[in-house]
């Protein structure tokens, strides 16, 4: 993919939206297949599939890269690959590239735990540790 840093971050969000959104693989694949047959509103399809508003150029670049990546994975692995699997793999690769470039920080285990178990929405706006019962 050829992006600038902000576009790359937006591309990661769009790929994550495809992976973790509520649309089925078949619905995503049907819409992506239709994109390349006729002139299409890539930005509109991105919103329809993920609920995210991204620039037209970014959506076009992400969807074209995803289609090529999906085809490459299927050829290399010689088996069917879902569009979500390809999107997750492409997102991981893009995020890894962004970490190497210093655009995205790698979170330490300690920071991830803190994010998972600290409630920042307490009434007094002070972080509080969530207690897990059991």
Nearest to 36 by CA among 65, 79, 16: 65
Using the predicted structure, report yes or no on whether residue 78 has a pLDDT greater than 70: yes
Q: What is the pLDDT of residues 97-134, one digit of tens each?
A: 877 877 666 656 565 566 566 555 555 545 444 455 55
The pLDDT assigned to 79 comes to 95
Residue with token string 């959104």? 21
Phi and psi at 2, nearest 5°, equal -110, 105
The pLDDT assigned to 14 comes to 87
pTM passes above 0.75: no
CB atoms within 10 A of CB 38: 6
Q: What is the pLDDT of residues 21-75, one digit of tens each?
A: 888 989 998 888 887 766 678 899 999 999 888 889 889 889 999 999 999 999 9
Higher pLDDT, 74 or 11: 74
Give rounded-to-5 percent helix, strand, coil for the chain: 65, 5, 35
Nearest to 35 by CA among 49, 19, 24: 49
Which residues make beta-bridge pairs with 119? 128
DSSP letter (8 states) at residue 120: T
Q: How far is CA 46 from CA 1, 16, 76, 81, 109, in A?
A: 17, 12, 27, 21, 32
Of the segments 2-6, 13-17, 84-88, which one has the largest average pLDDT value? 84-88
Helix (H, G, I), strand (E, B) or coil at 128: strand
Residues 73-80 have a mean pLDDT of 95
Half-sphere exposure of 104 (CA within 13 A, CB side): 20
């Amino acid at each position: 993919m050829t992006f600038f840093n902000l576009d790359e971050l937006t591309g990661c969000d769009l790929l994550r939206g495809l992976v973790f959104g509520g649309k089925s693989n078949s619905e995503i694949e049907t819409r992506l297949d239709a994109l390349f047959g006729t002139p299409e509103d890539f930005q509109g399809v991105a919103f329809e599939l993920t609920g995210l508003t991204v620039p037209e150029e970014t959506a076009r670049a992400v969807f074209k890269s995803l289609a090529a990546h999906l085809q490459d994975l299927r050829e290399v692995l010689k088996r069917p690959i879902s569009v979500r699997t390809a999107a997750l793999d492409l997102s991981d690769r893009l995020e890894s590239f962004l970490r190497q470039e210093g655009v995205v920080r790698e979170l330490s285990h300690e920071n991830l735990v803190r994010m998972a178990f600290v409630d920042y929405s307490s009434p007094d706006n002070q972080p509080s540790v969530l207690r897990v019962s059991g």
